[in-house]
Structure 1
């Protein structure tokens, strides 16, 4: 029997990307394992907790987790999923200040999309390019709904067949990250947002420096998301606009 697929920062080529089912199983297994990770600092006035797991023999880097619980005043389950489970990379550009450009490389299926993302940092740090496959899954079969977003790095330069897609990547140092996010519906209308990630910035930044700042950096995404979401919360989505147009026709 083949060994189960493990999530890592080592990128497959486009032709070698795993199936939805393989990635979902690996993502679920990883998220369950985070319950035993070592707790670290808390951020955003205690609303965001962080955890970590040291680099293992099959890992490319250590793992870090942030965990936050939100009431409906922040966002409902459906609202979280509408922004994180649909075109996530494009939405992240709106609330993560370091993201400068997002390009859709290929929409492989309704649940698998390939993006290339350019991060721009203050000098002297060079821009970083991350090309990732994002796989989404919404589980409505259990009593508590759960949405998963699994992101893995993809190498577009090793296989000549991918050369046209590689042209869509911006110039810059190539970094790698792998992540699993789970949006879990809790009682009382609350939502748990759990995100585990392992990454390498590439270039001349020592890995230990990146690891030292990882907890605080990933924690910033939570208040950034909530602040941004509240600016767009009352805006109708495309489906609502279409329905309204149909009703007035």
Structure 2
């Protein structure tokens, strides 16, 4: 067991180091995050003011908190459905993955989590610092910080595990880009990237909460922003863990089915 944990820990570290090599890309991502964060501030804060200073429980400070936390987490959340496993299935390299003494799904998730954790440094931290400079609110309860950090980690892993499901569609499809584009459109909107899920119409909010997407971004943001008290935060984390367990189980089942279906040209 200890040796197995060490293997996945090394894969996580490898993903972290791999992502750290793209420093100019990280800078570009920070510039994009900041630009779109300022645009979102202009639109959403104007909407809050037009609504009389409060919209679905969001005042200007809380809306600013939502904007900069969501922008800061964007680089670490896999909301575009891109994972390396899709390319390895397409070109046949996944056959070698199945020969290795590690679980294909767990290895992919560990590597991607390492890459996501690095992205918190050059993109997440400066975005939050920008939010603090423009008046974002801080949670009143000290419990929001450890619960928010745990919720953030679960959200990152959940987003990667769900994107893995998109990637392994390649076992049955020649090209997965169509599925990936559909996933990207749905995930960003339903996760609360553009506007908070709480201001959705009731029917749309019900659809969103019936998917794992709010558990990726909206729930960590609500906990870190202090919108959820300790009891509510524990409930949100429990929902995240339930979604993660279900998505991982689905990934295991589909990986086994895909392995039986896999055909590699030339062998």
**TM-score under structure 2 length normalisation:** 0.28
Bigger Rg over Cα? 2
Q: Which has the higher contact order (CA 8 A, sep 6+)?
A: 2
More helix by share: 2
More strand by share: 1
**TM-score under structure 1 length normalisation:** 0.30
